[in-house]
Amino acid sequence: MPRSTFLIAYVVAIALALGIQWLLGSVSGIVFLALCGLFYLVRHQRHHQQTLKWSAQPTAAPPPDLGSYDEIVTPIYKYVRSRQNEYVALRELTNNVLSAAQALPAAAVTLDKSFQIEWCNAQSQRLLDLLYEKDKGYNIFNIIRLPEFFDYAQSRQWSRPLRTRREIGGQVCSLQFQLTQHSNEGYLLLCQDITQLEKLQTTQRDFVANVSHEIRTPLTVLIGFLETLRDLPHEALTKEQRKQYEELMHEQAQRMLAIVADLLTLSTLESTEIVDGTIVQLAPIIDKAAVQAQSISRESHAFEFSVDPALAVVGQMNELSSAVTNLLTNAVRYTPEGGKITIRWDRNDHGEAIFSVTDTGLGIEKKDIPRITERFYRVDKSRSRASGGTGLGLAITKHIVIRHNAKLVVDSEINKGSTFKIVFPAEAVVYEQRDNSAETAEVAGA
């Protein structure tokens, strides 16, 4: 109890003892005082025991009555509760920070001032072969044995990241290291896999260079003819020569227009999402594309068709028409005269619909097959330009195939020909049973 309360109780007890002594006489007043003292001692001992018991678990609420110990216990309890709330908040913040660090796509490693490992996230195992339980306390240079990384770390010049290569899972990957001092006693190491980023940057640079080259070539031809026509006297050229120049200029202008049109098509395919498709009958599209291919062939190739007219897919008609036309015209352009081109449209045993174009042309080397769908990539650059290709047809076809959740499969062998297949998933296939079965016709020299 508070000191003032204790003094009041003490005075009252003495007054009562004097009153009892005056009324009863003998030693009654002294006995009363002794009993009051005994009661106080018992009560004080009980408060002391309760306080000792509470002190073993100070985060729990103290008993409601601790007598004179209340003045000590109450501020201690308030302080402990405040620190406990701060600890809980700090623990939640730490867990959130660690969860965020674990979710990083980069490897994150904290180091002490001697570059000893203090902590690392899960991504560190894949990129740096680090395990927190196994490698904690080890020097980072004993694990990342790259001389350029050691020099970078010791230089303390960390304003720019270090880019280097390291073998990961049997493949050489490009890694970017960035060191930062996060406190007076520690450093943070971030390591990112930038292999795909470098590929994209290379592709972008190649694309800009290729576009510049592809446009510059016909422009150079155009400018050359225009300068010739401008500088030479009118009578210096015959009508036949002038007509030939004009036709060549028109051809180069058409070539530039085709490149620009294909680039716009690619841009549209990449920047828009496919809307809900409709049921597309591919047989009429194949017939129309075949007429165009035969026109380019000029009766120099044999065409064989095996087309199921009842087979359809869900998709975009214009896009599918572009993909079919690209594959057919490519087959004509890359198949020597007298070669054969086979077009098939049917289903396999898994219910997938397959459109395939097989030629007996030049073929493609295995190393080139993964790259033939890149923009402006040509296996035979001189032949591609001579045949009128823009170098964008297969890139457009690949994007259309992806937008239809289909697959583009290429099989080829040098000097034996190639087969290009578009495989549509079974869920996109629509089959209308008809009386007429698929017909096979062979057209030679048409």
Residue 137: is its pLDDT beyond 50? Answer: yes
pTM of the model: 0.53
- Rounded to the nearest 10°, the torsion over CA 385, 386, 388, 392 is -20
Angle, vertex CA 436, rays to CA 432 and CA 437, nearest 5: 80
Share of the chain residues as helix, strand and coil, in percent rounded to the nearest 5: 55, 20, 25
Instruction: Looking at the structure, give the CATH architecture of the domain made up of residues 274-443.
Output: 2-Layer Sandwich (3.30)
Instruction: Identify the CA nearest to 261 among candidates 294, 215, 293, 201.
Output: 215
pLDDT in tens, 321-344: 999 999 999 899 888 888 999 999
* Rounded distance between C-alpha atoms, residue 425 and residue 405, angstroms: 7
The CATH fold assigned to 104-193 is Beta-Lactamase (3.30.450)
What pLDDT is attached to residue 236?
79
Q: Which of these CATH numbers, 2.30.30.40, 1.10.260.40, 3.90.79.10, 1.10.287.130, describes 199-269? A: 1.10.287.130
pLDDT (average), residues 4-17: 72
Q: Which of 110, 87, 88, 86 is nearest to 98 (CA)?
A: 110
pLDDT for res 198: 83
Which residue bears the tokens 């572009």? Answer: 322
Dihedral class, residue 26 (left if φ above 0, else alpha if ψ from -120 to 50, else beta): left
The CA distance from 18 to 28, in Å, is 9
Interacting residues of 210 by C-beta distance below 8 A, sequence separation 6+: 375, 376, 391
31-87 residue pLDDT tens:
777 888 888 778 778 878 888 888 888 878 888 877 777 778 888 888 888 888 888
Q: What is the mean pLDDT of residues 17-26?
A: 75
Mean pLDDT computed over 1-29: 71
Q: Mean pLDDT, to the nearest integer, of 387-415? A: 84
Q: What residue segments make up the domains of the chain, in order of their start?
A: 3-93, 104-193, 199-269, 274-443
